Chains A and B, each alone.
Chain A
């Protein structure tokens, strides 16, 4: 199976390639990609050099251009597609209908992957993207169980790529405006979710309160873990019950499901975290590479290797196990 690794910086890209990544994904340093954080991503020169480095070491590079182009400003996204093509990218990862159409018309030779932001959650929709825009691979939304992924693979020729590690969206990706409701900044429009610019920490009587856009998301007593206030992983009250009503502050870790995902026909395993450091990326890549190599050689999976790297300590297999729903 192919390991697809995040790179937020040229240093991360080189670290991922050296650590054994088959494929690296990254984005340009602007609003065209869904990890539009300050100090992150690649300018045009860095992208060309990064791709050349990866190719020299036998790895591929995918460029995520996966926000939804802003009305009146589509030229920014079109330029990203053209520059991806001329930099020698192995594929672009797209979510927007208009942009897929643009890429298919103007750069038909540039391989197109469907971003998780398109939330294509069944074979009919995936096949529709394939027949209409020539999409060769789909990154599946994090709402499907392993048997459902197997059923999709039985009904489509399109390769499937699934997230196995890192941040976990609880909502169908690309279909969520919780963040812009509270802060004005959203994944779809700005490439950010629950942005740090709108986070406010206050300590009151030994309790650390974390607010996003003025809304209280977490409070932690001294000594308690104080996870980042991602909106859908906050503690709220409804119907007289309080707690993590949408999702606990957990991150995805599906390493134990790799054999099942392989059996389900999945082509590629994706690691989230373009905002992570080069050393983090290298560590995760080494572990996942070891796991898929073990699988290919019929050896048992190395167990529990990544637990200490998970954000907020706790890991979940998310929707891959049906009970999550």
Chain B
């Protein structure tokens, strides 16, 4: 199996953003999708850094794609999305607006925010030029297996959300701005102080979700360390790791070790917990009663 790193979902300072991709060039991953997926207002802060990051990643032998926004409503967002096709890099479609602008026959990736729930949809996208499809994170293993068969027949790679807080919802409303009692148009970048999202707790103190501007994520980090064997057997061809702060290169190395058979799933889980004992893990969407469930032991 291969490793993909998805676009950073959070709002980082431009220097932090550049440093992340400089480091990532050295990490043992195969494919990187980058750009802004959550909020168009963030893009101007690091847009000029994107070409250098692409060059560095490509020079290190990785394939690269540019993501579309997850929800396109404004005129400038439509323009941005239309221009993606002209950047000379593969496009990762995370909203079908991007597909509307891709010339017929141009190869593209499909990100986890496009609804690919069944074989007909997968085949239709592959017929339109999709060569790599990251499935929606809420799919169970049985669906993943059925879709992996269809993907192989259609000549597309199929990817599963492998590690990181799960994108659960996107909205027209900015929750960070709402929390700070600011209108969205004058948000003053309320999300900039939460580089991994702002934890949302229930009123009795249970960690539940994470707020990230117009996006809502899970509190738990999805982690396929204990499911990698089953996913490989199902025909999944890559795992997607989602950027976060801390030693992300180590996350990549751990999963590379897992996929190469040098580390067991439990070793990866133990190492992740040793690095961050606060972090809650989940794999329930793939194999559980609900998304928040975790199949492994919970650290004391």
Q: Which residues of A contact B (CB under 8 A)?
A: 68-72, 74, 95-99, 101-102, 119-125, 127-128, 141-144, 148, 151, 170-172, 174-178, 180-184, 186, 188-189, 213, 215-217, 219, 232, 234-239, 241-242, 245-247, 319, 322-325
In the complex, what residues of A have CB within 8 A of residue B289's CB?
184
In the complex, what residues of A have CB within 8 A of residue B205's CB?
237
| Chain B residue at minimal CB-CB distance from A198 | B290
A171-B95 in contact given A125-B100, A219-B203, A238-B198 (Cβ < 8 Å): no
Across the interface, do B100 and A171 meet the contact criterion of CB distance under 8 Å? no
In the complex, what residues of A have CB within 8 A of residue B70's CB?
175
Across the interface, do B138 and A143 meet the contact criterion of CB distance under 8 Å? no
| Chain B residue at minimal CB-CB distance from A98 | B120
Q: Using a CB-CB cutoff of 8 Å, which residues 26-51 of chain B contact chain A?
A: none
In the complex, what residues of A have CB within 8 A of residue B204's CB?
216
Q: Given known contacts A128-B99, A236-B209, what 15 new A-B pairs fall within 8 Å (CB)?
A: A71-B143, A71-B150, A72-B118, A74-B118, A97-B115, A171-B171, A178-B169, A180-B291, A181-B291, A184-B284, A213-B290, A213-B292, A215-B206, A238-B201, A247-B173
A-B pairs, 10 with minimum CB distance: A98-B120, A143-B172, A98-B121, A181-B291, A128-B100, A184-B290, A68-B117, A71-B146, A325-B184, A171-B169
Cβ of A49 to closest chain B Cβ, rounded Å: 31
Partner of A175, one of B143, B170, B288: B170
Across the interface, do A325 and B174 meet the contact criterion of CB distance under 8 Å? yes
In the complex, what residues of B have CB within 8 A of residue A184's CB?
284, 288-291
In the complex, what residues of A have CB within 8 A of residue B163's CB?
none
Partner of B203, one of A95, A186, A188, A237: A237
In the complex, what residues of A have CB within 8 A of residue B75's CB?
151
Across the interface, do B143 and A72 meet the contact criterion of CB distance under 8 Å? yes
Across the interface, do B71 and A121 meet the contact criterion of CB distance under 8 Å? yes
Cβ of B184 to closest chain A Cβ, rounded Å: 4
A71-B71 in contact given A181-B166, A237-B200 (Cβ < 8 Å): no
Q: List 28 A-B contacts (CB under 8 A).
A: A68-B117, A68-B121, A70-B117, A70-B143, A71-B117, A71-B143, A71-B150, A72-B119, A74-B119, A96-B118, A97-B115, A97-B121, A98-B124, A124-B78, A143-B73, A170-B173, A175-B71, A177-B169, A178-B216, A181-B292, A184-B288, A189-B117, A217-B202, A246-B171, A247-B173, A319-B172, A322-B185, A325-B174
A121-B201 in contact given A71-B143, A170-B171, A181-B292 (Cβ < 8 Å): no
Across the interface, do B138 and A180 meet the contact criterion of CB distance under 8 Å? yes
Cβ of B276 to closest chain A Cβ, rounded Å: 20
Complex Cα distance, B212 from A238, in Å, reads: 11
Across the interface, do A188 and B138 meet the contact criterion of CB distance under 8 Å? yes
Complex Cα distance, B211 from A237, in Å, reads: 11
Cβ of B171 to closest chain A Cβ, rounded Å: 5
Complex Cα distance, B284 from A219, in Å, reads: 27
| Chain B residue at minimal CB-CB distance from A183 | B290
Cβ of B290 to closest chain A Cβ, rounded Å: 4
